[in-house]
């Protein structure tokens, strides 16, 4: 049992640290003796059971609804990389990942032998897949980005199954090319398969680094593939006598997944404070 304070501005928010690695699907909140609570926030990581996924179909391994996380980025001036994993198409430019304009852009651009601009720099972000898998198709959506889309992009992959969102180190990870540098266009969905240069991977993909040249915005990044893990452990059962809060997996509805992910954004970037999960009332 945990005491709560009145709903004044300086006492209304309560944080409770939960040290538990189990997987949960429901929580139960008990009041003593009665009263009201404005909001309940449960911070954690999505751990979806892929045993019900179609054996022959492809799923978006990077989708928020499947546990995909935007771990880190070189620049997040106008939008965070987690937005790349969101449901549906972006509603505006703010609903994507967009970086600040590179101040070192030359007054005149030159192209190399492959027709790519010779640019002074690039930006990147890392996406942790919800489940390791084999990527068979990539979709990059630049809807709403008409004059500020990246000139081109490159995707790399790595296999780091033991890394968590807090321990993953992009510097020491072994990266291989998934999609070589490829031109992008404005306000459109670009699809890439083996015919467009998508490489086969020797191991299941756990993380993808999305590099854009030289900067700009992308609305969505879809990594279609087959999950390598077909069966997870059954969800832990909630004890008969429930405490105030339990670590939980977000609801199944797509709207609820999106709302739950919004709460997760505050803990999706790397931190050296140790592995912590927090529930907020």
Where b means 16+ CB within 10 Å and e means fewer, 28-41 reads eeeeeeeeeeeeeb
Q: Which domain holds residue 245?
A: 6-47+232-281
CATH of residue 211's domain is 2.60.120.260
Q: Are residues 149 and 79 in the same domain?
A: yes
Asked if the structure places residue 23 within a domain, the reply is yes
Select, from the ranges 195-209, 216-230, 245-259, the one with the highest average predicted confidence (pLDDT). 195-209
Q: Are residues 119 and 170 in the same domain?
A: yes
Q: What is the pLDDT of residue 108?
A: 86
pLDDT digits (tens, 9 = 90+) for 15-33: 998 888 788 888 899 999 9
Domain boundary residue among 227, 246, 267? 227
pLDDT digits (tens, 9 = 90+) for 112-131: 888 888 888 899 999 999 99
Q: Are residues 63 and 186 in the same domain?
A: yes
- The mean pLDDT value for 134-139 works out to 97
Q: Is the pLDDT of residue 250 over 70?
A: no
Q: What is the pLDDT of residue 135?
A: 97
Q: What is the pLDDT of residue 56?
A: 67
Asked if the structure places residue 277 within a domain, the reply is yes
pLDDT digits (tens, 9 = 90+) for 37-96: 999 999 888 888 777 666 668 999 999 999 999 999 999 999 999 999 999 999 999 999
Q: What is the pLDDT of residue 198?
A: 98
Integer Cα distance of 223 and 201 in angstroms: 13
Q: Are residues 145 and 200 in the same domain?
A: yes
For residue 224 the two structure tokens come to 């279609």
Nearest C-alpha neighbor of 257 from the set 58, 13, 68:
68
User: What are the CA-CA distances from residue 118 to residues 53, 99, 109, 121, 152 (Å)?
Assistant: 43, 19, 7, 9, 11
Please give the residue that has the higher pLDDT: either 240 or 204.
204
How many CA atoms does the CB half-sphere of 156 hold within 13 Å?
Answer: 14
The per-residue DSSP string of 77-105 comes to SS--GGGGG-SSS-SSGGGSEE-PPPTT-
Q: Are residues 124 and 190 in the same domain?
A: yes
Q: What is the pLDDT of residue 54?
A: 63
Nearest C-alpha neighbor of 150 from the set 100, 110, 208, 198:
100
Domain boundary residue among 227, 244, 270? 227
Asked if the structure places residue 1 within a domain, the reply is no
pLDDT digits (tens, 9 = 90+) for 189-210: 999 999 999 999 999 999 999 9
Q: What is the pLDDT of residue 53?
A: 64
Q: Is the pLDDT of residue 262 over 90?
A: no
Q: How far apart are the first and last CA of the chain?
A: 14
Q: Are residues 269 and 174 in the same domain?
A: no
How many CA atoms does the CB half-sphere of 173 hold within 13 Å?
Answer: 23
Q: Are residues 280 and 200 in the same domain?
A: no
Q: Is the pLDDT of residue 276 over 80?
A: no
Q: Are residues 154 and 270 in the same domain?
A: no
Asked if the structure places residue 17 within a domain, the reply is yes
Q: Are residues 103 and 164 in the same domain?
A: yes
Beta bridge partners of 257: none
Q: Are residues 161 and 252 in the same domain?
A: no
The kind and range of the H/E element at 59 are strand 59-60
Q: Are residues 78 and 207 in the same domain?
A: yes
The residue whose two tokens read 């990539």 is: 138
What is the number of structural domains in the chain? 2
Asked if the structure places residue 60 within a domain, the reply is yes
The kind and range of the H/E element at 227 are strand 220-227
Q: What is the pLDDT of residue 193?
A: 97
For residue 10 the two structure tokens come to 């300086």
Q: Are residues 183 and 63 in the same domain?
A: yes
Domain boundary residue among 227, 244, 263? 227
């Amino acid at each position: 049992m945990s005491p709560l304070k009145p709903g004044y501005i300086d006492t209304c928010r309560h944080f409770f640290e939960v040290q538990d690695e189990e997987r949960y699907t429901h929580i139960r909140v008990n009041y003593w003796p009665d009263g009201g609570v404005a909001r309940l926030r449960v911070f954690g990581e999505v751990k979806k059971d892929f045993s019900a996924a179609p054996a022959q179909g492809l799923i978006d391994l990077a989708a928020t609804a499947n546990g995909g996380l935007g771990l880190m980025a070189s620049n997040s001036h106008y939008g965070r990389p987690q937005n790349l994993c969101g449901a549906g198409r972006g509603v505006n430019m703010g609903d994507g990942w967009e970086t600040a304009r590179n101040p070192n852009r030359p007054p005149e651009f030159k192209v190399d032998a492959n027709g790519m601009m010779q640019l002074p720099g690039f930006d990147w972000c890392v996406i942790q897949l919800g489940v390791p898998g084999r990527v068979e198709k990539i979709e990059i959506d630049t809807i709403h980005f008409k004059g500020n889309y990246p000139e081109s992009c490159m995707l790399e992959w790595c296999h780091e199954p033991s890394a968590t969102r807090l321990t993953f180190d992009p510097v020491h990870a072994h990266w291989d090319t998934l999609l070589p540098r490829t031109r992008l266009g404005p306000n459109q969905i670009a699809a890439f398969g083996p015919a467009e240069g998508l490489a086969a991977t020797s191991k299941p993909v756990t993380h993808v680094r999305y590099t854009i040249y030289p900067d700009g915005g992308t609305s969505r990044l879809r990594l279609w593939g087959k999950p390598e893990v077909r069966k997870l452990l059954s969800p832990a059962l909630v004890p008969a006598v429930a405490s105030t809060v339990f670590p939980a997996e977000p609801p199944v509805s797509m709207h609820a997944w999106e709302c739950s992910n919004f709460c997760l954004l505050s803990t999706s970037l790397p931190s050296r404070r140790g592995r912590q999960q927090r529930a907020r009332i």
